[in-house]
Amino acid sequence: MRYRLQTTATVSTRVLDFDGRTVRTFPIRTALAAGTYSLRWGGRDDGGLLLPNAAYRVRVEATDSSGTTTAEVLVTKANRAIYPRTPGSIVIALDPGHGGPDPGAVGDGTHEADINLDVARRLRAMLAGAGVGVVMTRDADVSVNRPVLDRNLDGEISERDELAARLDVANLARADLFVVIHQNSASDPTARGTETWTSGDHPWIDQNLRFAALVQAELVSGLRAFATSTWSPVDRGVKRLNFYVTAPYEEGRVPRPGQMPTILGESLFLSNAGDRAKLRSAAVRQAIAEGYYDAIARYLAERSYGARYAVLAAPASLVEGAAGTVSVAVRNTGNASWPAGTYLYLRYVPAVPYYDGAPHRGLALRRVSLASATAPGARVDVALRFTAPAAGRWILKVDLRIGDLYLSDAGVVQLQVPFRSTAAPT
């Protein structure tokens, strides 16, 4: 870490853990002149013991005659970096299940919604400390469907609208992965263990199953550290089911499904006394967060293709038949190069509420071939010139095709841009 002093000051530096406790204190450096200084921390506490993998904050306080200025940097201690080429181009969506009037499973006074949120916050801190973008469906004990709306447009307000609101958070962020965090419960109090759910009904079935397998393996591996003579983790495996948040498109029920690889993790059973006791431990909840983190890191290190789109310029409206240009920055966030001849497509579909979640690609407006190979981590800017379609409200959609593979079929969320064509004057 580097810090720069603008005036002579006395500097103190501490490292704080997720809960705000000081775990490492550096000697106070007095009367440092204005300039740039560096600090190195090896992940150990004041006694030299290696600290657990987690998110930490490095806090620097500089005091001069005018008072004290404080600066903090979030850092992550972990076994793996997440997409070290360009971690800032990755976005992960986290959904702490339940919340608000819905506590989820309740075991001896412990509410699932609270456990889910604590794990998600710990995971968010680790991801942010690694330089990764994160969106959370909720960061408090609240519902996500606020204001209360008919999100799935089925004519009624129900639990499905709450779940649709959570999917919208992930889709609108064009997240690389959607991690839905839950705890389990059963009528049989002896049922216990860890399981991970996903759906096999998306075009990106291979990506779903691979991510789910990594999550399951990392969660179980992390929990083994807490085994005792009376408790040990149970691997219940990867399972498939079309929960609302993992289901594919279904007209009238799931109009905007998740458009990226999605898993629903059931870490432990709140209905089981042994599992419940573990979930009450902050160290266990941190281990669960670390398991998710490591699975995300491994998945992103192994996937062949990924992309992040950003609009550089786009017209909001044009007269039908007029020429326009959508300029897009496209970054390769996978681990395989895009060969020369890779195509970027611009298509359009009729405008719908929120955004388009249907599987159809739309009508073609333009395609542009990338002139040269694009290496992992690299960015290319593309101008897509098109002729405005017939008068109406539309959504312009941007997708990449490598050979015969459209990246939207590999769980890469398309870019969508609202657009309006106006009637030509007579």
Summarised one tens digit per residue, pLDDT across range 312-371 is: 999 999 999 999 999 999 999 999 999 999 999 999 999 999 999 999 999 999 999 998
User: CB–CB of 312/355 below 8 Å?
Assistant: no
pTM of the model: 0.97
User: CB–CB of 368/384 below 8 Å?
Assistant: yes
- Rounded Cα distance between 96 and 181, Å, is 5
Contacts for 49 with CB less than 8 Å, ≥ 6 apart: none
Contacts for 116 with CB less than 8 Å, ≥ 6 apart: 96, 97, 98, 99, 104, 181, 182, 183
Domain residue ranges of the chain, discontinuous segments joined by +: 2-77, 87-302, 307-422
Q: Which helix (H) or strand (E) holds 290?
A: helix 282-302
Numbers of helices and strands, H then E, in the chain:
5, 23
How many other C-beta atoms can be found within 10 angstroms of the C-beta atom of residue 116?
26
- Rounded Cα distance between 310 and 415, Å, is 8
- Per the listing, tokens 């959609």 go with 397
DSSP string, 302-329: H-S--EEEEEEE--SEEETT-EEEEEEE
Domains 2-77 and 307-422 alike in fold: yes
What pLDDT does 200 receive?
84
Establish whether the linkage from the previous residue to 147 is cis, with ω within 30° of 0: yes
Single-letter amino acid, residue 66: S
Contacts for 325 with CB less than 8 Å, ≥ 6 apart: 313, 314, 315, 383, 384, 385, 386
Percentage with pLDDT > 90 across the chain = 97
How many other C-beta atoms can be found within 10 angstroms of the C-beta atom of residue 146?
11
What pLDDT does 85 receive?
96
Judging by DSSP bridges, how do beta strands 363-369 and 317-319 pair with one another?
A: unpaired
Write the CATH number of the domain with boundaries 2-77. 2.60.40.4070
What pLDDT does 177 receive?
98
Q: 307-422 domain in CATH 2.60.40.10?
A: yes
What pLDDT does 261 receive?
98
Q: Taking the alpha carbons of 108, 112, 113, 118 in that order, is the dihedral positive or negative?
A: positive
Residue ranges of the chain whose pLDDT lies below 50: none
- Judged by phi (left if over 0) then psi (alpha if -120 to 50, else beta), residue 350 lies in beta
Q: Vertex 160, ends 158 and 166: CA angle to 5°?
A: 125
Judging by DSSP bridges, how do beta strands 415-422 and 317-319 pair with one another?
A: parallel
Judging by DSSP bridges, how do beta strands 379-387 and 323-332 pair with one another?
A: antiparallel
- Bridge partner list, 5: 35
User: CB–CB of 383/327 below 8 Å?
Assistant: yes
Q: Phi and psi dihedrals of 420, rounded to 5?
A: -130, 130
Q: Which pair of structure tokens corresponds to residue 181?
A: 């965090």
User: CB–CB of 116/182 below 8 Å?
Assistant: yes
User: CB–CB of 54/43 below 8 Å?
Assistant: no
Q: What kind of architecture, by CATH, is found in domain 87-302?
A: 3-Layer(aba) Sandwich (3.40)
